[in-house]
Chains A and B, each alone.
Chain A
Amino acid sequence: MSHHLVDFIDVSYSYLDGNKAIENLNARIHHGEAVGIVGANGAGKSTMLKLLVGILMPEQGEIRLGDLPVTKKTLSIVRQTVGFTFQDPEDQLFNITVYDDVAFGPRNYGLDEKEVEKRVVSALQTVGIEHLMHRAPYKLSGGEKRAVSIATVLSMEPNVLAMDEPTAALDPKSRRRLIELLQGFKHTKLIATHDLDLVMELCSRTIVLKDGRIEYDGPTAEIMKNTLLLEQCGLEQPLMLQGCPICRQK
């Protein structure tokens, strides 16, 4: 289905105070592609994702999911197609049990309880946290909360995953587990992050934003070697490419 293309066509957005957050952004993301969106704080990464799911509406330009434009009228389908995870899972998990949180979306889309249960169980199985089903979200660890927030989105069976800082505040092991999990997903992925090592491992393509504009859009391997451009955009080479500090010293 052409449905799975994600198109940003000349999109601009500015905040209420007039500051430009995104300026004339153009990008086409293909089915199954994993794209890392990187840039300094305030470069417009989160805004780009929020525009995609219609939390914000562009003041100029258009965003399309295949044939489907993102407008007020299509929001319901758009949000079924694109699963968005927040930077702070705490904002996303507002029910009293994990089960209810994962079931929240499917229930809102009017599925019957049997189908809801099937979806919840399969979403929890996918992220490997079936045992947390009846726990309270606020009693989970950071890594578990992140896993649940992904499950809440998976239960809607989206084609596209948009994730805002998925590895923020995760311990190394939880982060590793998350990367492995995401590697297994066939979804189109847009990942806004500061974690360039994550991008190296997960995304074949990288978009670098600076002050709301695209500075680079291309293969990840290339940009990560371009230390000059990275530095200009407030970034730094991934640690895995930066030679070993201990060996170098010795």
Chain B
Amino acid sequence: MANITQAYYKMFILDELADKKTAIHRINPIVKIMVTVIYLLMVVSYDKYDIIGLMPLFFYPVIIMSVGDIPFKPMLAGLAIAAPLVAGVGMFNPLLDRNIVSTMFGIGISAGMLSLLALLVKCSLTVLAALLLLATTGMNKIAAALQRLHIPQIFIMQLLLTYRYISVLMGEASRVYYAYNLRAPNQKGISSKIWGSLIGLLLLRTYDRASRLYQAMKLRGFENQFFGGCLDKLQKKDIMYLLGWTGFFIIVRFINIPMLLGVFVTGVIK
């Protein structure tokens, strides 16, 4: 689990990347959410064996990453979390679905192998799309967009407060944890004798923090209302962005371009 925590820490880098001011970053957050959702729907709607048709969809993350100036490295941590699960469930596909559908260079390729590969490709694409939404938009603007999309305010406050205090509480928890480990070397985890008190004390402090937080909010006139960040009005470029990508997704979804390309090229060679 410690690895995951490290991955989590690394992932907060994404929110910092959202401070950049590239063309992608300047697109209206609502539009970016819509494009992301359409993209995800497209990706998962492909036939379970269709890998080749999926290929043009790689354009989306690659273009966003290069125009948005987003490095690939922080994305890897996200892939590291999601991929093992998908691979774990999907690895039975080659074992159970053994129909040989094609032989290539003398090696038989089974339908199961194809579907596993397609699953992994889909996993990478969906993970990339989700992380890129955050890296080019940022938590604040996503929250503002959600508000515009009529997501209830209580939930948005929830989201922002949770996000805000993750770093504080992670700091607290890791200090307690290190303090424990410093005096209890060679242990694999917290001993069951103090499960309750260690977490419980942390929880009491959390509780007290929540009540101070509530006081701080009340002192500045909080009455259960929420003020989202401001969003710019929809501009022409936002509409273009939306229509452009949607059009592209639809075209590649219904016309298998790589296949046509391949047929064309092999035809020419012959």
Contact = CB atoms under 8 A, between A and B. Distances in A.
A and B touch in the complex (CB under 8 A): yes
Interface of A: 50, 53, 55, 76, 79-80, 84, 86, 88, 90-92, 94-97, 100, 103-105, 107-109, 113, 134, 136-138, 152, 156
B90 to A, nearest CB: 37
Interface string B22-48: 000000000000000000000000000
A166 to B, nearest CB: 15
Given A107-B227, A138-B168, A94 B216 contact: yes
A120 to B, nearest CB: 12
Given A55-B215, A86-B212, A107-B227, A95 B164 contact: yes
Given A103-B227, A138-B167, A96 B220 contact: no
Contacts of B223: 108
Contact of B220 (A55, A79, A88, A138): A79
Interface of B: 15, 19, 139-140, 143, 160-161, 163-165, 167-168, 209, 212-213, 215-223, 225, 227, 229-230
A60 B146 CA distance: 47
Question: What is the interface of chain B mostly: helix, strand, loop, or mixed?
Answer: helix
B168 A105 contact: no
A94 B164 contact: yes
Contacts, number: 63
A121 B131 CA distance: 33
Nearest to B215: A55
B216 A105 contact: no
Contacts of B219: 53, 55, 79, 84
Contacts of B168: 90, 138
Contact of B221 (A53, A79, A97, A136): A79
Nearest first, the 5 A-B pairs at minimum CB distance are A108-B221, A105-B220, A91-B212, A92-B216, A107-B227
Contacts of B230: 113
A76 B160 contact: no
A163 B74 CA distance: 41
A156 B19 CA distance: 28
Contacts of B143: 96
Given A84-B219, A105-B221, A96 B160 contact: yes
Contact of B213 (A55, A94, A137, A152): A94
A221 to B, nearest CB: 33
Contacts of A109: 221
Of B139, B209, B218, chain A has the most CB atoms within 10 Å of the CB of B218
